[in-house]
């Protein structure tokens, strides 16, 4: 548990300092958001078909 948190801290710090790293994190956030929206619309479509 400790080694992973030590590895994660410099990454979190560099995400705010290095623009390229921040862009990488932002892209992943957008991908996750897009996936969540896709899942929500799919769920709505399925519930509408049930009616």
Cα–Cα dist 14/27, whole Å: 16
Q: Pick from 1, 2, 3, 25: which is nearest to 13 by CA?
A: 25
pLDDT above 60: residue 49:
yes
Tens digit of pLDDT for each residue in 3-36? 555 555 555 555 456 777 778 888 889 999 999 9
How open is the CA angle 16-21-24, to the nearest 5 degrees?
120
Domain housing 33? 2-50
- In this predicted structure, what is the pLDDT of residue 33? 92
Q: For the chain, what is the domain count?
A: 1
- In this predicted structure, what is the pLDDT of residue 8? 53
């Amino acid at each position: 548990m400790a080694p992973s948190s030590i590895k994660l801290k410099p990454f979190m710090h560099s995400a705010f300092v290095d623009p390229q790293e921040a862009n990488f994190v932002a892209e992943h956030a957008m991908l996750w958001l897009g996936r969540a929206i896709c899942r929500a619309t799919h769920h709505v479509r399925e519930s509408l078909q049930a009616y």
